Amino acid sequence: MMKYYFSYALIGLTIFLMAFSIVPMADVNNKPSGTADADIKVLGTSNLHDWSMEAKEVACTARFTYAVAKSTIPGGLQGFGFTFPVHGLKSGESGMDSKAYAAMKAKNNGNIAFTASSSTITPGGAGRFSVKSTGSLTIAGVSKSVVLTAACLVKADGSISCTGTDKLLMSDYQIKPPTYMLGALKTGNALTIDFTMIVKK
């Protein structure tokens, strides 16, 4: 009798653990995760005026994970990354664009990409949280370890909007700051990257 009682108890415990593990996964399927809409802008300076370029055709992924099934605030972020073609950067000035593509060696290194190796989430209040992602940013064929930080908000429709910024130097990626108008316009070495990401259900 003791043997049968132990077997029934073991079976019951196994069913309980399986059910407990399945519940969060069933609810998480309706959480924001997977592909994301992204907008990336590159901001720079020159001896004449500031300038900006906006990335087109950005491919972005972000897989949020949830420790508690019914939580609206994610507990983690996995599989975060983005990539876009260098020729997808547009300033509105074709001459300046061409100089920028040449400086970034677009002929042999067609994409700019970021791949996160780890991410941490810090909960805030009222549907807000922050993300810090450490990963590799590749520009002009040179990869550097960077940390991207973003402020995120769970919106009324359940989607998640994240905005952030990062500063870098062209010289860190072996890029010579381009000149324009026969050298009359000389760009600065420092760049600011602004990005917005929206992850839908």
Residues 16 and 112 in one domain: no
Residues 150 and 190 in one domain: yes
Residues 84 and 159 in one domain: yes
Return the H-helix or E-strand segment holding 174: none
Tokens 């860190």, residue?
Answer: 172
pLDDT value at residue 10: 39
**Structural tokens at position 155:** 């919106």
**Total domain count, the chain:** 2
Does 116 have pLDDT greater than 80?
Answer: yes
Residues of the chain with pLDDT > 70, as a percent, come to 84
pLDDT digits (tens, 9 = 90+) for 149-190: 999 999 998 899 999 999 999 999 999 998 877 667 789 999
Does 94 have pLDDT greater than 50?
Answer: yes
Quick one: how many helices (H) and strands (E) in the chain? 2, 11
- For residue 148, give the CATH number of its domain: 2.40.128.110
Q: Exposed, middle or buried by CB within 10 Å (0-12, 13-18, 19+), for 90?
A: middle
Domain that holds residue 16: 1-30
What's the CA gap between 47 and 100, in Å, rounded?
16
Residues 188 and 146 in one domain: yes
**Structural tokens at position 82:** 């983005």
Residues 190 and 107 in one domain: yes
